[in-house]
Structure 1
Amino acid sequence: MKRILFCFTFIAMLISGCSNESTGKKEDLDKKAETVQTVEDTEKENTEKQEENVEEAIVFKKSTPIKMDKSLPLEPLDSFKTQTRENENEASYHLDVTLKEDEVFDVKANINIKNLSKDTWGDLIFYFIPNAFTEKNKPEFLESQAVVNIGEVLVDGKSVDYKLQKDTLQLLLDHPLNPNQELNVEVAYSFTVPTNGIRFSKAGENSYLAQWYPMLSTYHSGWDKTDYEHGGESYHNDFSQFTVNYQLPDDYVVASSADNDPTQASSKGSLHGEEIKEFYITFMKNMNVSKRVVDGTEIRVFSYKEEDLNRETYLNLAEETLLFFNKNIGKYPHKQLDIIMDQGGMEYPGIVTVSTSAAGDISHTVVHEMAHQWFYGMVNNHPYYTAWIDEALTNYAAYLFFIKGKNQEPISVFSRADAVIEMASDYGKMKPSNLSVPEYKGQPVSYSASVYENSSLELWKLSDANADKGIEYLRNYFNLYSYKEVDANEWLRYTRSFFQIKDVNQLSDWISFEE
């Protein structure tokens, strides 16, 4: 979930308490929108300042995103065949991470890579997101920054040249990598974590490591690498295998994307993840945990002491949610599911974070982030270009849980969506739902209203306001596309086929079709 932006606190304040009656009183919306508008103006000013000092970009062969083709014929659902494209590289990661007494992390990344494309590669392109938080590159509103140092970079044991700009790491190969050939990359580096950062963050003695290692970009006849955007996901990775060894100066509670997290605080260990898109890990102190086994999965909820009561409440909610999605969409694939009640709302394989700083109930956030384990965790898409594909389906799944699983009235459930959409509409912030992340830059209200809320309501309309039909849409989609990648055109093909949309212009109220 991309509501990590600090201004989303105000949106959360607006929509809290909407479960029993529809909000949207004009005077309340005006007050909230004035605050959000101030934040948006600040974001715009920061963006303009950053654009004044644009460096020449690293040059590499880039992939071309697939656009929607509304001229394609309508296909019957009973004979519908997927037309997904495969990622054209393969990677497995072995990561050794050591936290030193001076709060510096030392990492040795060992990555095996195979060229599955028809192209010969002269370089390798990685996301290296810790570098997006250095003093030079960080968003201006962050008061803290990371310090990043890259040491030795080896390919098949030999030193190679590299370029690092913002979050792009380019390795220049001495010898081309031909189709079906493999090589090994080693990167030794160190970093500190910014206090109160964005996902990659430190809070007190707790370190939250998101996208902390060199992440190989996907390859589709070119590298599918986009620039980092703190307002949404801008990284796109394929499913990979991970081994992560950690060494700490003291005992910490460890939670990660692995299925074998230690049951007690520890100072060292080895973790493993199979067929996951990224590996998130956090080292925590002063956190309490509640846990139980549900349908073969251990759910663990971590919180600070002052959240003890809420922790139990959200553990109960997580149990209901997991059982509902297992039954109605598909089986959760991991043995553990961790919920960290800190660091805003965000999803990672096998683990989610939820913010408790905003006023009101965060039940929707918990369910939304858990739903991402299906729509993101198992069905892939490029969130930079197609954020609505996972966010709309995830948000819709959350609403269906409350309607079907909790027997709440749709008018009450969708009142939160109505409130955010009304705010955006009143201030001219509504946009199509299928724009790329930077097209919403500096406009978090527009991003939330268009990508999350309006798209959910439109899917509800397409489902004839019928929860069973909505669940069938999601379940069928999940069964077709598990461990595959869905692009804009494939989403359109499936959605038209499922709902038998004869005239594609029926979607033009919320989907933009480029001529």
Structure 2
Amino acid sequence: MKRSTLRIQIVICSTLVFIICIYGIWSKYFRTVPAKENVKEFIPQEIKPGSKSAYDLQLEMNTEGIFNVEASISIQNQSDKDWSKLLFYFIPNIFTKEYTPQLESNATVRMKELSVNGKNTPFNLTDDTLTVPLNEKVSPGTVINVRVSYDFLLPEHGNRFSKNGENYYLAQWYPMVPTFRNDWNKQAFRAKGEFYHTSFSDFSLKLKVPPNYTVVTSSESDTFPSNNTSTMYAKNVKEMFVAVLKEPHMIEKEENGVNIRVFSVEDKPELLSEAGLLASKALAYFQQVIGKYPSKQLDIILDEKGMEYPGIATVGSISQPTKVLEHHIVHEIAHQWFYGVVNNDPYYHAWLDEGVAQLATTLFLSTQENKNLNEMFHQELLPNAKRRPSNLPLDQYLLEEQSNYIYGQSASRLWNVFNKNGGQKTAEQFLKQYYETYQYKEVDTQEFVTFLKHYLKLKDNKLFNDWLQLDKDKLNER
């Protein structure tokens, strides 16, 4: 009896030891969620914008397609330096004949008046830069008001700021306040990529358009059909996009409290329906995996070059192949989280929103198409001979090559990090934590890598050295 009892005890102890060993091995190699206390210990260090703006805009279009603008902009100095001048992006000017003579039909811009705190002030408009010298310096914490009056005519087939037939696409149409980094952080216009960088702002927009036009904006309160005169508001967004469409076709559907609207200037109901269904699936996936969509309305416009704006995705020509169009729809929706809420400087750190949005897009498409993620990301890899860092400033890439590094290489190498540390589940859980930690904050490459290393408990930089240019001393400090 004693021997039998002893055998049972030995078996039980051996089984317990075996289970403990197996669990230890499993937790080491298959754990996908870093310990929550590890994330809670992390103190994010956001990049401060240096300026804070609020826009009161009035936009009126006449029957000849000329837009008249009255802009009142309140700007607070949130830096630690005095300002002796103000700088704005004034992108409509770059499409005038003086700067872009190759266009079929150029933009026109006519400046009428500019005042600072109610006093008329001289200014200089060159390329896409509006410079306003100040008679008195603006000290830290001070708020200054600038009023600008002007009108413009859009170019035919421009770049985002464009007129196509009887439809008008107004991207970056108002004086946009840059961030401030010891000086105004404004870079020169580039024909490809997002070269402009703004912080989060509040907008009030009063609109007046001729009959038979529908207005689609970054506001979540747009209606269809829209009134000829209306007032819209948008809070805590990076920019205000406006499309003025002549009798467009539209379908809408609701997904978890979000009204999805898909517009097309051509009568293609099947394409509209398919785009709406895909947008609904992508929105559901991103809300589940990343976090709550930041608005009550999501608009998809199928008639303009692929681009993301707050609350709006334009996804290229409707003549594109279905798979390309599908990818654009999902990618631009992903930007509503990574660009729309988590901010980064697209001139110096373009890979952050593009690479992360591309990662999220591919994760979603793999669930829809039942494809192997390694194979999907392998298609994005570049030969070693062509490899360069993905986080160089835009002016260090050739225009025809920058997408390879900013989109393809960054997404595939980022997937490689997760593939070696838990796979798809880890990637999805990281995106949620990243979004929760940095929403309405600005991130740069150093901060992103520091957070990712902390989250995954990585001890060195070997998974980043061949595709990112890093300040290793600063990484080691944290």
Matched letter for residue 131 of structure 1: N
SS across alignment from 1:92:
strand
Please state whether the residue corresponding to 2:48 is helix, strand or coil: coil
Report which structure shows greater RCO (CA 8 Å, sep ≥6).
1
The corresponding residue for 1:137 is: 99
Match in the other structure for 1:82: 44
1:448 aligns with 2:448: no
Q: CA deviation at 1:76?
A: 5.5
Partner of 2:449: 492
- Tell me the TM-score normalized by structure 2: 0.86
How far did 1:251 drift? 2.9
Structure 1 vs Structure 2: percent identity of aligned residues? 37
| Equivalent position to 1:94, from 52, 56, 59 | 56
2:445 partner amino acid: A
Task: Name the CA distance, whole Å, in 1 between partners of 2:294 and 2:263.
Answer: 21
For residue 210 of structure 2, give the secondary structure of its aligned residue in structure 1: strand
Report the counterpart of residue 31 of structure 1 in structure 2: none
Larger radius of gyration: 2
What one-letter code is carried by the residue in structure 2 that aligns with 1:144?
A: S
Q: Which amino acid aligns with 1:222?
A: D
Aligned partners of 1:480 and 1:149: how far apart in 2? 44
Q: Secondary structure at the match of 1:223?
A: strand
2:471 aligned with 1:509 = no
Q: 2: CA distance between counterparts of 1:192 and 1:430? A: 42
Distance between the aligned counterparts of 1:132 and 1:89, measured in 2?
Answer: 24
Deviation track 1:51-108 (CA, whole Å, cap 9, x = no partner) reads xxxxxxxxxxxxxxxxxxxxxxxx9645211011322221110111111222211100
Deviations 1:396-443 (A, max 9, x none): 0001112245543325544xx61x546xx49x6543211111222332
Deviations 1:329-386 (A, max 9, x none): 0100111100000112100000010013333422111110000000000000000000
> Residue in 2 aligned with 1:118?
80
Quick check: 498-507 or 368-377, which moved more? 498-507
SS at structure 2 position matched to 1:219: strand
Per-residue deviation, 1:508: 2.0
Q: Which secondary structure does the structure 2 equivalent of 1:463 belong to? A: helix
2:425 is the alignment partner of 1:462: no
Deviation at 1:163, TM superposition (A): 1.2
Question: Does 1:291 find its partner at 2:252?
Answer: yes
1:300 Cα shift?
A: 0.2
Residue range with higher mean Cα deviation, 84-93 or 369-378: 84-93
Deviation at 1:143, TM superposition (A): 2.7
Contact 2:381 2:412 in 1 (8 A): no
166-175 vs 141-150, which moves further? 141-150
RMSD of aligned Cα (Å): 2.0
| Contact 2:246–2:265, Cα closer than 8 Å, also in 1 | no
1:351 maps onto 2:291 in alignment: no
Say whether the 8 Å CA contact 1:90–1:113 is kept in structure 2.
yes
One-letter identity of the residue aligned with 2:122 = D
String of CA shifts for 1:130-184, please: whole Å, max 9, x gaps: 111111222x653332111111000111111111111111111122222222121
The one of 353, 359, 369 equivalent to 1:390 is 353
Are positions 1:410 and 2:350 aligned together? no
What is the total number of aligned residue pairs between the two structures?
Answer: 432
Change in Cα spacing, 1:323 to 1:266, as seen in structure 2 (3 Å) is: same
Matches of 2:212 and 2:120, distance apart in 1: 36
Contact 2:387 2:467 in 1 (8 A): no
Residue 110 of structure 1: SS of its match in structure 2? strand
Match of 1:302 in 2: 263
Q: Which residue of 2 aligns with 1:60?
A: none
**Residue 165 of structure 2, aligned match among 185, 204, 208:** 204
- Which of 411, 431, 453 is 2:388 aligned to? 431
Residues 153-192 of structure 1 aligned to structure 2 (within 5 Å): 153-192=114-153
Secondary structure of the 1:231 match is coil
- Distance, in Å, in 2 between the alignment partners of 1:429 and 1:499 is 29
> Following the alignment from structure 1 to structure 2, what is the Cα–Cα distance between the partners of residues 409 and 171?
54
Equivalent in the alignment of 2:16: none
In structure 2, give the amino acid aligned to 1:448: S
Matched residue type, 1:223: W
CA distance in 1, matches of 2:266, 2:209: 23
Could you tell me which residue of structure 2 aligns to residue 108 of structure 1?
Answer: 70
* Structure 1 SS opposite 2:181: coil
Whole-angstrom CA distance in 1 between matches of 2:250 and 2:211? 19
Give structure 1 stretches of 5+ with no counterpart. Answer: 1-74
Distance 1:376 1:145 in 2: 30
- Counterpart residue type for residue 361 of structure 2: A
What SS is found at the alignment partner of 1:142?
A: coil
Question: Structure 2 residue aligned with 1:327, among 275, 279, 288?
Answer: 288
Residue type of the alignment partner of 2:49: N
Q: How does 1:256-275 map to 2 (within 5 A)?
A: 256-275=217-236
Partner of 1:127: 89
Question: Aligned to 1:216, what secondary structure does the other structure show?
Answer: coil
> Among residues 473, 476, 479, which one is paired with 2:433 in the alignment?
476
Kindly indicate whether the alpha-carbon contact (under 8 Å) linking 1:421 and 1:430 is maintained by their aligned counterparts in 2. Answer: no
TM-score, L = length of structure 1: 0.80
Contact preservation (8 Å) 1:152, 1:188 = yes
Aligned partner of residue 347 in structure 1, secondary structure? strand
Whether the aligned pair in 1 keeps the contact of 2:446 and 2:470 (CA below 8 Å) is no
**111-120 or 234-243: bigger deviation:** 111-120
Q: Is the 8 A contact 2:213 2:245 kept in 1?
A: yes
Partner of 2:333: 370
Could you tell me which amino acid in structure 2 is paired with residue 447 of structure 1? Q
Q: Distance in 2 between matches of 1:185 and 1:370?
A: 33
CA separation in 1, counterparts of 2:96 and 2:43? Answer: 46
TM-superposed CA distance for 1:456, in Å, is 1.2
- 3-state SS of paired residue (2:216): strand
CA distance in 1, matches of 2:405, 2:319: 24
Whichever residue aligns with residue 143 of structure 2, its letter is E
Counterpart of 1:91, as a letter, is S
The reply on whether 1:314 has 2:314 as its aligned counterpart is no
> 2-side partners of 1:260 and 1:344: how far apart?
24
Report the Cα distance in structure 2 between the residues aligned to 1:496 and 1:142, rounded to whole angstroms: 47
